[in-house]
Structure formats: C-alpha cells, structure tokens
Amino acid sequence: MSAGHEPSRERLVVESADNARLDTYLATHHRDMSRSRAVQLLELGRVLVNGEAARKSLRLSDGDVIDIDMPAPVPATIAAEAIPLVIVHEDSDLLIIDKPAGLVVHPAPGHSSGTLVNALLHHVSDLSGIGGVLRPGIVHRLDRDTSGLMVVAKNDSAHRRLSAALRRREVRRIYVAASWGHLPQESLVIDAPVGRARSDRKQMAVVSDGRSARTLLRRISRWRAADLLQAELETGRTHQIRVHLAHIGHPVVGDATYGVGAERGMSGPDRRWAADLARRVPRQFLHAARLSFRHPRTGEALKFESRLPTELEEAAEWAESTTAGG
C-alpha cells in the first residue's frame, strides 16, 4: 500500500439538485464515492449539509453546501496469496487482468480468501488504497462466474482518474454473451433502472427506483435457439447485463441466478438443442472481451482484447455447427 495517505476535507456546492437524495447526489457527483460508501460516511457523521448532520434521505436544493470529512484509506491487511494471474498489461499506474471464471474479485462473506485481491497483494507491491481494506485497487468488478478484462489501479491518482472516466462513460467495456431465444431485432438498447430485488435483497432487478442503467446489444450470430451477442455497458450496475437480458425474456445461457431452467420452456427439437447447449456451458456465458480507455496519467489511448475461454469457445463452435446443419 502507498505510504502517507492522509484524511481530507472536501466541499461540494449543490448544482442542479432536482430534489435528489443526499446519498444519491454524493454517489453521482463525487469522484470517488459509491452509494454504499456515501451511506457509510453519513452513518459515521462525516457528512454535513449547511453545517449540520444530515440523513441519507435528505432532499437537496441548489446552493446547499456539503462538507465531507474523508478518512484516510486504511492499509490492506488481508493476506497475500500466490494465486496465478493472467496480467495482460502492467505499468507504474495500473494493471489489466484477464480474470478467469470462478475467481471472486474481493473478500466478502463466504469468500475471505482465494480472491483476486489476495492474488494482487502477492503479485503487486503497491496498490491504490481508495478501495479500503477489502478492495484495494479495484476500479470496477466482474461477477465471480464472469471471465475477462479488468483494470486495477496501483496508486490513488490513477484510481481517482479511472473512476472519474468510468462515471463520464469514457471507459468502453464490451462483453460477449449468449442468451436464450432470439432478440426481436439485430441491435437493441435496454434502458431500465437496476436496483435490489424486492423479493430477494441478494439479487438485482429492474425496479422503478433503481439506478439508471443502459446496455447496448448487437447480435453477432443467430443460433438455433439462442443468440450470441455483443453487450456494451454505458453504465456499470451490479449484474447489469444479466438482469437486463432476463428482464426482456432472454436470460444469459448458464446463468444460475437469473436464467435457471430457461431452456426448458422451449418445445420440440429446439428444446433438445437447448438442453444440449446448456450441458456444454459450465457457467454463465458472459465474457468481458474488450476494454478501452485513456491512460490516467499519459492520456494514451489503450485498447485490450480477450478471446473467449476454451469452454465457451467450444460451446459456441458447437452451436454454430449444429445451427448451420439444422
């Protein structure tokens, strides 16, 4: 971890409030803050509005003054572990990791070790402290069973600039996914807010009071009873692609949370084909295939690509060959 991290005090003057909640405004307008981090700081009494302590649900008005007492990042104390990593690129500011499916990104209940963060602490001597104890250097996440490209910050300056670029939608993240059934057209934009599911708080769903979420879809190949898709994130909500595809009735193939048994709803030969594809896909068919952004220090345009892992590539080849012959 970097030495010399200091606490800081920051001030935001509210503009274009639109009656926004305090926690939502902080997550949207502060360069390094998620909504959960904003709630945490509010609960610790580290946020004042017009000089007074405020609740997260406070509705803001233009001209309100928000003072934030930002604590110093806490050095990571989790154990370094010699877990193999595929490092696509590394320089003094960042790394690009090609994450395998099955690797959890950071420690969480039920996953206190064996995570990408444990591996990073072994492979890298210095990581950004902004993510705190459990998420040092983590700018964005991939689900455990999603493979592909991730950027990791090695210092606080790079972390802040990369996070800001994400919020400004200057980081392009393009995935390859397989979904059940067929999209109604070759390309499609899903613009639907995503938040915690009311029936199960561990899952996400399209909900009216969720955070704005946009996914751009384009069909790469039309298989017998499924589509191979390119999915580009304009926003990065938890489980966004999986939730959006399930919401329109075309869940990701192999998705054990949002697409269980989707293939069984088909009939005739399509059902048998779908059951065969499902057996060939050992996890959700979702891969972060392309990542591009400007380097946070030099401004150089960077672009990285990752091929489908063997298990997904073989399933895709089978789907193509059986569709062509069907």
Residue 198, Cβ neighbours under 10 Å: how many? 10
Structure tokens, 36: 């959960």
Cβ within 8 Å of residue 284, ≥6 positions away: 143, 145, 146, 242, 252, 253, 254, 255, 256, 259
Q: Which residues are catalytic?
A: 143
- β-strand partners of 59: 21
Structure tokens, 81: 């572990």
Give the closest residue to 255 by CA, choosing from 238, 271, 243: 243
Cα distance between residue 302 and residue 89, in whole Å: 10
Alpha-carbon separation of residue 196 from 206, 264, 266 (angstroms):
8, 27, 29
User: What does the angle CA 57 – CA 60 – CA 62 come to, to the nearest 5 degrees?
Assistant: 170
Cα distance between residue 278 and residue 285, in whole Å: 10
